[in-house]
Chains A and B, each alone.
Chain A
């Protein structure tokens, strides 16, 4: 909402305050002034001039030589290029030495031999927005539409001495979508009175009801319809005060009748519509729901197809207006209009919002009806408009209006006690203070024993419960005056849950390991997902995506991590290790109907070198075992207990020979491995390694069971063995055999070497293990260890064909 400060002052006496002061006060009490625009952008030396003579320039077709009376003894000569300049016009003249908006300076000039002492201005040159300039003046200079005094300052008549307050209204304060509403608000803050217009009309003896009938079928949607008939109007240009008021409010002047309806819309917040009675098509107004597929051509020349949820004004047969949204083209007021049907109606927010939404048609009218207009201003606005039209366009107002009226105009009664106010705010207000606030708001009330019963005026549709009154009191009392306290309630222990702590632990661990945390978008594309899964059917999709790029909720964190690697690579960062912790969304349904399952995953992606030391020449590229080390470390950090297994695994998007499935107690919890080279290529990535873990199931399988274990008093004995086995034998298998046969003396087995190549038979490899034997109760003897060790070696040979390498 744009509020002209000059216009606002017609309703309230606020001369002692500057626009800036009022803006600040409005903002601090809840109606935010987003910006303050002074309309005069440094324009000086602009006067009204009268063109007393205008002849063609002898040397230039497109130029006119004008003699302009600027209130001095002799007129000044100004060369003007505008087509629409002519004798007798009152124009805006920037005199020599004047400055225009944008800092342009006017100098004495010679144009093709003719002296020009100043410039006749267009509205655009004076800083008016092109789209607000009346069509008549959009291609040339401006003419004052009325007689003026030559030489007088032109800034004020043009409204350039005004300041505009741009309000950023919250949805509840639709009352401030009108000048009167803003006036009430400012009056409440400053404690001044509001002067409401009192329109007076002279009605003719003819009855409007002889010219038009009103029938409302959809009385719920349209509880009030008032039709005023005005005969014999003369359509023309509006006076300057009206045009400047509209332009200041961001509305383009059109003609006197339309301008009046727009003016009253801005003034009362009540949208009105004027039909040309002669092209209306009947003598009957019928308000009804549209039929399915019914069509109307609206004022903006577009054909609209309607549904049964939309409300239309018809002439008994065809729709002539889309109720509350926009009028129809057929009965539009134009230069030839003589007789008017002026509509002032209350339309329910529902169908207006529906039509506006469905048809993508937002108008100054729909915006106001959608929020609910003041039922007590509907008829008053009709009267105000009729009176202004008569004043500006002449004509006879017939006795009327013709009405359909089932509108509830009763104020809402809301009660509140003093205690409730003070207990909610933490204040110690007295009855008198609250009374004063209600008085300033002009809310009629009764007070009895500190119980206030308030008749909330219908202009404040947002106030319906006691909490709303508390807010009114609080904001006018001033939020700054509310004390600062801490809750009187017993203290509570705060903290993180085990799961939340484990998420933090996971982050700490991965960061300590050298990874950066990434956060990427949850919305992705089905194609990106398809690289890692066969099943792309069961996806959660956004109904109306803004782009394909953000159409589907992710089921894996990998694609966006790969995007991030790729992004970094393109910016010359080649060694990047990222992890992300976030939700993925799985559904079993082809068409989602219930909330999908959201699981927290943690995933990582690595490219380039893991370690590098430039001058020592060390370079360690990331490989499978780097990633596995991190995963193993994380499992240990999270106290995962249960049997952890890494199973050779084939998965879409991953290298078939370098991928492992992670199982805990036989349950899949994730995978790790090298990105399939063709997948890597899709992302233009070098050798890339990834892991993806279902953190949620990892955390479920964990419990903190850290207990101190006594440090052994007796020495342990280490035996290292190198075993020759078939290449297909897995380290894990050998390890399991060793553990199964080592008895209770065997406390640790670790792989320490892998050898393939020379000195071994083809198809063989050598794996070396270190075995630690320990007896917690005494010093072990060679014989005891050897007895167990021999059993282990025998079992290795029998079960895995493992031969001790000599």
Chain B
């Protein structure tokens, strides 16, 4: 009987090996392992065996069953995997087709510049102050040491609304307004971004409307060397560690001494090129020590307090930073222009 079982085993294993699909396996399973299969038949004849032989045959029968079953299962698994693979292959897609776009807008480059500069100064302990765009002559000029008929008023062509009201030509009026709010008590540390207006014909480098950021620090013991220090820090944070600054004497009615601030040219690293007009330096802002008259009109005692102020053109910063060649691009709102700054 043992031989018979071995025979059946070999037969069944061969059939499993030959099976070409799940169905073939099913047939083999029913044929050999089913209740009416030959193994069961053999087992039925076990009663005739001696007590010694019986367990041996029983054991052998079980071994045969397990061996065949395990082989069938192994083959079944292989067939299923192959079938799944077949199915998945049919589901294949073209991964090179474009994805579903996530619609994303973006900030205007001028806003990006303003926010970045705001953040740098906030990090240095500044607050952000704002003021009206239609200003009085007093705040825009007089409180800034520019009395009526002062020759320096010619530097700025003004859109007047009435003899006393005008579109602010600079963000500096926010200085006086902020100083007034402090009622003669320091410290004042603010930057004031905003739109300003001048009677200029629009061209590649002029715009009748543009943006400025004004800054003001007033406290006891503020020195011109501090202005240099704050700007060295700002320039390195905003334009990069490798940039240097220099101050040149200049004139603004509301500061004394006054200075233009230059940064070293990024294109040529100070060697001189077209961008920097062969000077190695690029003018970026005007600054100076707050004029005593301005402190006084803002309600601060110039004997006790001193301060510095600065003003920069946002368009100029954006043009320098991104290499934009025409100021009018900022105001046409062409999406082909705007969409270039969505990553900023």
Contacts and interface: CB of A to CB of B under 8 A. Distances in A.
B333 A519 contact: yes
A479 B159 contact: no
Interface stretch (B45-53, B56-64, B215-223): B215-223
B126 A494 contact: yes
30 contacts: A30-B249, A423-B221, A423-B306, A467-B289, A468-B256, A474-B249, A474-B257, A483-B228, A484-B232, A486-B229, A488-B221, A489-B187, A492-B126, A494-B123, A494-B189, A497-B128, A500-B130, A507-B107, A510-B105, A511-B104, A513-B103, A514-B105, A516-B333, A517-B105, A519-B331, A519-B333, A523-B208, A595-B132, A613-B100, A615-B98
Interface stretch (B1-9, B22-30, B335-343): B335-343
A528 interface: no
B333 A520 contact: yes
Contacts, number: 254
B127 A495 contact: yes
A567 B334 contact: yes
Contact of A577 (B105, B225, B253, B292): B105
Given A516-B342, A541-B161, 15 more contacts: A172-B152, A426-B225, A426-B228, A465-B292, A479-B247, A485-B229, A494-B124, A496-B127, A500-B128, A507-B107, A507-B111, A513-B105, A517-B106, A567-B334, A615-B98
B145 to A, nearest CB: 11
- Closest A-B pairs by Cβ, 10 of them: A426-B225, A30-B249, A170-B251, A426-B223, A514-B103, A471-B257, A564-B333, A475-B249, A518-B333, A467-B256
Interface string B273-305: 000000000000000010110000000000000
B143 to A, nearest CB: 15
Contacts of A510: 105
A190 B220 CA distance: 36
A374 interface: no
Interface stretch (B81-89, B114-122, B264-272): B114-122
A447 to B, nearest CB: 21
Interface in B94-113: 97-98, 100-101, 103-108, 110-111
A465 B111 CA distance: 40
A519 B246 CA distance: 33
Interface string B33-51: 0000000000000000000
A467 B291 contact: yes
Interface stretch (A109-117, A317-325, A568-576): A568-576
* From B110, B186, B222, B257, residue with most partner A Cβ within 10 Å: B257
A489 B149 contact: no
Contacts of B292: 465, 467
Contact of B154 (A171, A540, A546, A614): A171
Contact of A553 (B134, B222, B339): B134
B133 A542 contact: no
Interface in A456-483: 465, 467-468, 470-471, 474-475, 479-480, 482-483
A699 B217 CA distance: 29
Contact of A495 (B122, B136, B167): B122
Interface stretch (B10-18, B69-77, B193-201): B193-201
Given A171-B154, A471-B258, A479-B247, A494 B226 contact: no
A296 to B, nearest CB: 23
A425 B115 CA distance: 31
A487 interface: yes
Contact of A484 (B149, B162, B229): B229
A479 B335 contact: no
Given A172-B152, A493-B125, A546-B199, A474 B224 contact: yes
Nearest to A473: B257
A382 B158 CA distance: 38
A519 B160 contact: no
A576 B335 contact: yes
Contacts of B209: 521-523
B162 A543 contact: yes
B230 interface: yes
B135 interface: yes
A410 interface: no
Contacts of B127: 494-497
Contact of B256 (A470, A540, A578, A596): A470
B167 A517 contact: no
B121 to A, nearest CB: 7
A325 B156 CA distance: 22
A523 B197 CA distance: 10
B208 A471 contact: no
A475 B257 contact: yes
Contact of B248 (A28, A514, A596): A28
